[in-house]
Amino acid sequence: MKLLRRRSGLAGEETVSEQTQSIPPQGAPQATARPRPLDDVHIDDLLRIVVEKGGSDLHVAVGIPPVIRVDGQLLPTNYERVDPQTSQRLIYDILTDEQIQRFETNFELDFSYSLARMSRFRVNVFRDRGNVAMAFRVIPARVPTLKELQLPAVLEELTRLPRGLILVTGPTGSGKSTTLAAMINQINNERSVHIITIEDPIEYLHSHRFSVINQREIGQDTKSFANALRAALREDPDVILVGEMRDLETMQNAVSAAETGHLVFATLHTNSAATSVERIVDSFPPGQQEQVRLQLSNNLQAILCQQLLPRANQPGR
C-alpha cells in the first residue's frame, strides 16, 4: 500500500474590487457608500462580479448583502441587504420546475450552472432559518494539468495503473475535485480507455481525446452514487471516478470494482491516510470488516491527503 501526502497551493490572483469592500471588525464604522438595489439584478450579474474580480465563491443569504470570496477573504458587494423574496427569486430564476420540486422536497439542491462565455459554477441551494440561501463555487473553464498544479510526479505514474483503488482525501474546499480532474485529464491525454465519472454535480467538463468519457451527474443522470456505480460495472468501463463515497453500498461497489480489474478513483472527507482506511472499514458491519481489510490490502494503490495552504509570495491559496 502506498501512502501519499500532499501539501500544495493552487494559483491565486491578487485583485482589487470597486464593487466590494472588506468586512469590518465588529463594532467598526460601516461604509457610507449607498448600497445598490437588487430589484432588477439577475444572479448572472452577481456571478460576473465574482469572475471579473478573480473570486472563488458567491454567498447569498437573507439579512446581508451578497458576499464574494477573493483570495480566501469574504467581501460584501455594494448591494442592499437581501430580503427573503429576493433570495428566492435570484435562485428560482435559474432552476427548472423539476429542480424546484426537488429543493422544496429535500430543502437542499446541488447542481452545476454555466455563465455564457465566462465560467461554470458548482451550486448548493439550502434552507437558512426558513429562507432560501445559496453558495456558488467557480469552476475553471479549462481542466488544469498535474504539472500546472505542481503535484508530485508520482501522480502521473498512478494514472497509468491498470487497476486498483486510489483515494483523494481532505477537508471540504481542499482541491480534491481539481486533483481528480487533472488525473482524469492525464489519462485522457495518454490512454485509449473508457472512463465513467459519477459526480454531484459535474464540475470540470472533459472532452473525448484518446479516451471515451461519460460523465454522469447525481439527480440529473442517475439517482445516487450507488446506483450509478452498479450500472457502471455493466457499461464496459476501464476507469471509474466516484465523486464521493458517502455510504456503505458505494464503498462496497467501489472496492469490488477495483478488485475486478478496474482503476477506481474516489474521495473521502478525511485528513490522513490512516483515518481514510479506518473510515472505510468502520462503515462495514463487524462481521465484514476483516474481509474489507483484506480487499483493501490487495487493491488500495494510494491515498493522497491534501489541503490548501496560504501562498507565501502573494494573496491566495
What fold characterizes domain 2-6+142-307? Rossmann fold (3.40.50)
CA neighbours closer than 13 Å in the CB half-sphere of residue 98: 4
C-alpha distances out from residue 236 to 76, 98, 257, 277, Å: 49, 31, 12, 28
The three cell numbers locating residue 90: 435570484
Q: Where are the domains of the chain?
A: 2-6+142-307, 43-139
Q: Tens of pLDDT along 226-279?
A: 999 999 999 999 999 999 999 999 999 999 999 999 999 999 999 899 999 999
Share of the chain above pLDDT 90, in %: 79
Task: For residue 195, count CB atoms less than 10 angstroms from its CB and return exposed for 0-12, middle for 13-18, buried for 19 or more.
Answer: buried
> Is residue 201 reached through a cis peptide bond, with omega within 30 degrees of 0 on the bond before it?
yes
Answer yes or no: is pLDDT of 135 > 90: yes
Answer yes or no: is pLDDT of 20 > 50: no
pTM over 0.95: no
SS3 306: strand
What fold characterizes domain 43-139? Beta-Lactamase (3.30.450)
CA 297 to chain centre: 28
User: Which residue from 248, 195, 194, 250 is spatially nearest to 218, judged by alpha carbons?
Assistant: 250
Task: Please answer whether residues 82 and 29 qualify as being in contact, where contact means their C-beta atoms are separated by less than 8 angstroms.
Answer: no
pLDDT (0 to 100) of residue 307: 84
